Every structure is written in structure tokens, then in C-alpha cells.
Amino acid sequence: MLKVNMSFEADSGGITKLSFQNEAWGEKDIYNCIKDMQLLNEKGNVTVNKDSGWVIIEHPKEVRLLDFEYTLKQDRKGLSSKTRYRPIINETYFHIFSHNMFMLPSYLGPNPDDVLNIELRWEDFPDDYVIHNSFGSQKKYQLIENIEKEEFHTAIFVGGDFRTFKNNVKNNEVILATRGKWVSYADKDISNLLKTTIEAQRDFWQDHTQKYFTVTMLPFFQERGSGFGGTGLTNSFATTVSNNKNTSIDQMVYLFNHELMHNWIGNTIQNENEEEQYWFSEGFTEYYTFKNIATHKINNLDANYFVDEVNRTIRDLFTSPVASSPNSEITYDNYWSDRHYGKLPYYRGAVYAFILDLKIQKDSNGKHSLDNIMQDIFKSSIDQNQKVNSAFFRKVVNKYLKEDISSFHKTHIIDGELIELDKMFNQFGLEYIPDTDVFDLGFKENSETYKVLAVDSTSNAYKAGLREGDQIVWRSIYYGRVDKQVDLNIIRNKDEKIDISYLPVKRALIPQLKRGIHNRDRLFNPNDDDKVHFLE
Ligand SMILES: [Zn+2]
């Protein structure tokens, strides 16, 4: 457990509120992690209003300063992809996002632009205990000045048996903090990957202004397959990664490039409304992840990697059960609770970014690309604090296009209609194959009882004998993999045990770009390592 002791000015009205959200980042009941709240220096009453996210302290009116204390405790067992956004606290380390760790007086920062000053003292930890976070490394005293509330609360704090690796990128400090023993790669490989990625992306944005940046990488146990996740934060991003031989360094290349890209798209360049513009902040981040990796050949990944990733994104989008849902359905609730909605803005936005990139390069005869738009948006967010919304985005794009993008934008982003990619690829002179193998489970089930609700009669599942009404009692499914067999043990008519196996694949009319020289030369100029050219 961690004890947090805070002192702050009291409200002269006799009631001081602390804000602490019970629900955030898709997690509920965060108050389960808070114990033993008490006012230390005065007699007072402490009550909690979970719904409004307030700890309410009643105290004598004449009191100037309050000393308040609470204990943070992990409320779920272990660490997995499911618990990574909750406080992790055990004997050897802790890993907590700022908003789950620090209550803040609610009188601070009523306006989002208000800034606060916060002093942190890390006391009573063992000598060899590493203290590391978004604001510094190995500092027992930290003064964080002129910070916006949101910026402070979008941070990572870790401590314990972490190892830190320091790099220097054009005189700025970049630190990797990790723990545990990685099965698939050495600390050094990851530290080098971070350095290369940071250098490449800062060059792209022409932005080497950050003096301090850190990445945390936390291993978790996963028996089969691989899993990883990350989140972009103040001066940092935090990752949690499955630690087994199925987790490859190429997956880390993707993860690091995606999360670092959020340092600009999402962090500096902000959405006007979170989920409403995720097609931009997640989709364009995704697109620039592929483009940046291929342009800089990070870990030797090149144009073929770019083509593979664009193809995968197209397949993922076109096979999504919510592929054509309007943007208005990408709400907080849908996004965080439904896997399909959760991924939709990534796929939709990335495909849109790819097509826009091609359009701009075609209209400008290769003089401009989507890169110019990203630079313009970055500049507007710094100079004018401009937030991204559809109207602003269209305005910037239209500066580079012959035709108004508005109706294309409305059809494919706001209304969610799929883009006719074969037409587009013809237009841009790209070679493609009109159909492809896609992942197809072939049946629908009740997600709680695992009873089969429907089986597609044209699917491999049906051919293998699966029928509506079957009760699944054991299963092995590699989601998204067309080369891995699905194995099911089912019970039919209460006592008939049947084993069913099949490849979860079907042919679908989804265009896929061809690998190789033709498309490479249209998408990337092999003579120029620093710039990606489409259609010279
Ligand atoms: Zn992201």
C-alpha cells in the first residue's frame, strides 16, 4: 500500500472539496482503491460523493491549511491487460496513473487553462527503491510548476525495482524505465528503439523542445499469443506488454511509434471532443506510425511493411461488424465497452489518412502531402490553441486540394460509409488484388453463456458441423489469424460431446495493395530516405 499525505489551502467557507474520479479511462469503482481517508490537523468530517467524484471535507471556517491523508491499495488481483489502468501496488513495485493517485482540491483549476504548482516528496522508501515518473527520475523532491490540472493528471508514476536507461537525443534526456526479465529482447534493444523512434519523430515535427521524456514498460504474464497496450501522457507514454516468446520486437516498434506519435497528435494537437475526433487522433496516429517506421526503416521495416499494415487496416475495417456506423456512434460508452467500436476510429481514420495523402500528392504533383497538413495543424494548435474538429480539419485540407473535401469527409468520416478503394487505387496507379482471405469465425454466440446463437451456413464453421444452439464449453481462437485453427468443444442436446475444428477464413471482395517495386516506387522514393513521396 502507499500512503499519500497532502497539504493544501482550506476553503474559507468551511467546506473544501477534493476531486477524484470514480470512473475514468473505461475503469469503474476507482474508490475501491482508497482506504483510511482522514483529516490530520483539524477535527472535521470527511464524506465521499462517488458520482460527482468528490471527497468533501467539512472543517472550521478559520482553518487556513489542511493536512489530509489516504491510503492507496490495489483492488484487483495481479496485472493483466484488463487491470493496467488501475493502480498496481505490491511489495516490489507500484505503477499508477496520476488521476488514480492524486486527489486535487477542486478549487484548483476551475478553468482548463489555469495552472498549478505542486510539490512532491517521496519519503520512507528503501534506499534502492527507484522513484520514476513523467516529471523526473530518481528525485525524492519534485517541484512541478505552472502545470495545467489535466496535464498533471495525465501522467505516470512508478517506483520499486524498475531499471532506468538514459539516452541523449540532441541534448534532451530520454529515459526508458522497465522491470522484470524480458524473454524476447534485451533492455538495450528497447532503449535503442526508443532513441531511434524519438529522433525520427521529432525530426518529422521539427520539434526538439522537450527536455525530459520517459517511457515505462511493464511486463505482464500471458500464457498464449501476445498482448500489449500503451497510452500517451505528459512528457511520456506508458506501456504494458505481455512477456513471452510470442511477443516480438516488431510489435514494440509499432507500439513505441504509435504511442510517441500521440505526443503530438492527441497531446499537443488536441481533439475538440475526445471520442468524436478519434478518427483523427487515433486514425492519423496509426497512419503516421506505419509511414514513419517505413520512411526511417526502423528495425529494417520498409515499404513492404507499410503496404502490409495498410492492407491489414483495410481488412480490419471492412470486416468490422460496425464498419459503416456513423461517427456519432463512437461515444465514450461504446468506445470503452465494445471492442469493435474501440478499434473503429483507428481503422477508419488510418484508411482516410492514406487516401488523403494520395489525393494531396496527386493534386500538387508531389509537391505537398498529408505531412504539410499535419505541420499546419501542429502550428495552429501551438500558436492559436486551435483544437481539431471536422470544420477546422476540412479548412486546412482544402488549402492543398483542387476539390472541396467536405462531401467526401461527410460521407466517409461523419456518415461512416466505406470508401470504394478499388476505384481509388486505380486512380492513383497502385497495383492491387481485388479480393483476399479474411478472418471469419462463422458464428455468433451469447458473450456470457457461450451458447451459439447463429451459424453462417456458407462458413467453414458450418461445414465443420457447428450448429445453432450448441453450447461451447472450451475454445481456442486466435482472433484475426486466418492460419490458426479454431478448436471448440461443444455440448449438443445436453449430453452429446462434440469436438469441432476449422480454419476461420473466407474469401471477401476487399482490395489489397500488392507488395513489391511498383507500389513501393509510387509510395516511397527509394533515393530519398528522409521523405516519402507518392506519385512523383
Ligand atoms: Zn492511440
Instruction: Give 526 Cα–ligand 1 centroid separation in angstroms.
Output: 29
Confidence of residue 83 (pLDDT cuts 50, 70, 90): confident
Q: Which of 332, 351, 333 is nearest to 274 (CA)?
A: 332
- Residue ranges of the alpha helices (H) in 4-153? 98-101, 149-153
Burial string for 67-80 (b: 16+ CB within 10 Å, else e) reads: ebebebebbeeebe
**In the chain, what is the straight-line distance between the N-terminal and C-terminal CA atoms, in Å?**
60
* The residue count for the chain: 536
The per-residue pLDDT for 525 is: 66
Q: Which of 123, 26, 15, 12 is nearest to 62 (CA)?
A: 12
Instruction: Give 285 Cα–ligand 1 centroid separation in angstroms.
Output: 7
Confidence of residue 224 (pLDDT cuts 50, 70, 90): confident
Instruction: Give 470 Cα–ligand 1 centroid separation in angstroms.
Output: 38
Instruction: Give 279 Cα–ligand 1 centroid separation in angstroms.
Output: 11
To the nearest whole number, what is the mean pLDDT of the chain? 93
Instruction: Give 149 Cα–ligand 1 centroid separation in angstroms.
Output: 22
Instruction: Give 71 Cα–ligand 1 centroid separation in angstroms.
Output: 31
Q: Which of 300, 217, 295, 299 is nearest to 259 (CA)?
A: 217
The per-residue pLDDT for 180 is: 95
Cell of 340: 469493435
- Would residue 188 be called left, alpha or beta, if left means φ above 0 and alpha means ψ between -120 and 50 degrees? alpha
The pLDDT of residue 532 is above 60: no
Instruction: Give 286 Cα–ligand 1 centroid separation in angstroms.
Output: 7
Instruction: Give 344 Cα–ligand 1 centroid separation in angstroms.
Output: 12
CA 523, distance to chain mean position in Å, is 26
Residue with cell 483539524: 42
The pLDDT of residue 536 is above 50: no
Cell of 82: 484488463
The pLDDT of residue 325 is above 90: yes
Instruction: Give 258 Cα–ligand 1 centroid separation in angstroms.
Output: 6
Confidence of residue 529 (pLDDT cuts 50, 70, 90): very low
Average pLDDT of 131-136? Answer: 98
The per-residue pLDDT for 247 is: 93
3-state secondary structure of 45: strand
Contact (CB, 8 A) for 289 and 254? yes
Distance separating alpha carbons of residues 330 and 319, to the nearest angstrom: 17
Instruction: Give 29 Cα–ligand 1 centroid separation in angstroms.
Output: 24
Instruction: Give 261 Cα–ligand 1 centroid separation in angstroms.
Output: 8
Distance separating alpha carbons of residues 347 and 175, to the nearest angstrom: 31
Average pLDDT of 527-531? Answer: 47
Q: Which of 35, 40, 37, 30 is nearest to 1 (CA)?
A: 35
Indicate the pTM of the whole model: 0.84
Tell me the per-residue pLDDT of 301-319, one tens digit each, with 9 for 90 and over.
999 999 999 999 999 999 9
Judged by average pLDDT, the poorest of 4-13, 62-71, 472-481 is 472-481
Instruction: Give 330 Cα–ligand 1 centroid separation in angstroms.
Output: 15
Tell me the per-residue pLDDT of 185-210, one tens digit each, with 9 for 90 and over.
999 999 999 999 999 999 999 999 99
Residue with the larger pLDDT of the pair 495 and 78: 495
Contact (CB, 8 A) for 33 and 71? no
Instruction: Give 237 Cα–ligand 1 centroid separation in angstroms.
Output: 10
The per-residue pLDDT for 488 is: 97
Instruction: Give 124 Cα–ligand 1 centroid separation in angstroms.
Output: 36
Residue with cell 523532491: 141
- Residue ranges of the alpha helices (H) in 6-116? 98-101
Cell of 85: 489502468
Instruction: Give 304 Cα–ligand 1 centroid separation in angstroms.
Output: 23
Instruction: Give 281 Cα–ligand 1 centroid separation in angstroms.
Output: 7
The pLDDT of residue 531 is above 60: no
Tell me the per-residue pLDDT of 411-450, one tens digit each, with 9 for 90 and over.
999 999 999 999 999 999 999 999 999 999 999 999 899 9
Instruction: Give 85 Cα–ligand 1 centroid separation in angstroms.
Output: 15
Instruction: Give 263 Cα–ligand 1 centroid separation in angstroms.
Output: 10
Average pLDDT of 510-532? Answer: 78
Instruction: Give 259 Cα–ligand 1 centroid separation in angstroms.
Output: 6
Distance separating alpha carbons of residues 351 and 468, to the nearest angstrom: 35
Residues with CB under 5 A from ligand 1 (ion): 282
- CA distances, 256 to each of 89, 292, 361, 475 (Å): 25, 11, 28, 32
